[in-house]
Homo-oligomer: A and B are copies of this chain.
Amino acid sequence: MEKPALADHPINEAMKQRWSPRAFDPRPMPRADILTILEAARWAASSFNQQPWHFLVATRDQEERFAQLLDCLVPGNQVWARNASLLILTVTKRTFDHNDSPNSCCVHDVGLTACQLVLQATELGYATHQMAGIEADKIREVYGVPEGFDPVTGIAVGYPGDPNSLPEDLREMELGARTRRPFNEYIFADRWGQPAGY
């Protein structure tokens, strides 16, 4: 199912097509596509080029790995993410390597790399769904995440599926419109709350 952004101005095609479905068709992905998706994420910007992001990954053909990772999502996400082809947990390093001081952008920069990951996947025709709903403590324990690192999100990548395969409540969310706030609610100039005029 396609759900292109109702953009008021012309934008990049992958950004237009990207949305976050829950219906996935459970098939394995070609390794070359996984490599391209991970490579796109690799070249994201980061503060002091720290690249604070770390990924825990599993593909659906790796049954044990996949089950282990799936179990680190909140139950509500497991329901549909089990049909993804590639599951990723993002983890960030809190401090800079070069001076051990706190990296104020360590979570922000995970967003930068995740964005490149999902846009590259979209460009290759895959569906993606990022999740705040992960079990951080379980991830720390199951994977042995060291002190100084924090789990941030989950990312499901896979083949677009049939919305009718979803349970009733999820199907309704799947069919809802994509909406965004207008510019004048959040793009300001001079003072907070004063629309910049875009």
Contacts and interface: CB of A to CB of B under 8 A. Distances in A.
Contacts of A32: 9
Contact of A119 (B5, B119, B143, B144): B119
A26 interface: no
A188 B143 contact: yes
A181 B93 CA distance: 14
Contacts of A109: 111
Copies in the complex: 2
Given A15-B119, A45-B115, A48-B132, 19 more contacts: A7-B42, A11-B43, A11-B120, A12-B119, A12-B120, A12-B123, A15-B43, A15-B44, A20-B45, A42-B183, A43-B180, A56-B188, A65-B189, A68-B190, A105-B132, A108-B111, A108-B153, A111-B115, A119-B119
Given A43-B5, A43-B16, A191 B10 contact: no
Top 4 A-B pairs, shortest CB-CB distance: A111-B111, A115-B115, A9-B39, A108-B111
A165 interface: no
17 contacts: A9-B32, A10-B36, A12-B40, A12-B120, A15-B116, A15-B119, A18-B45, A49-B180, A51-B186, A55-B188, A55-B196, A57-B198, A104-B132, A105-B153, A108-B110, A111-B115, A143-B188
A57 B40 CA distance: 28
A72 interface: no
A99 to B, nearest CB: 14
Nearest to A140: B192
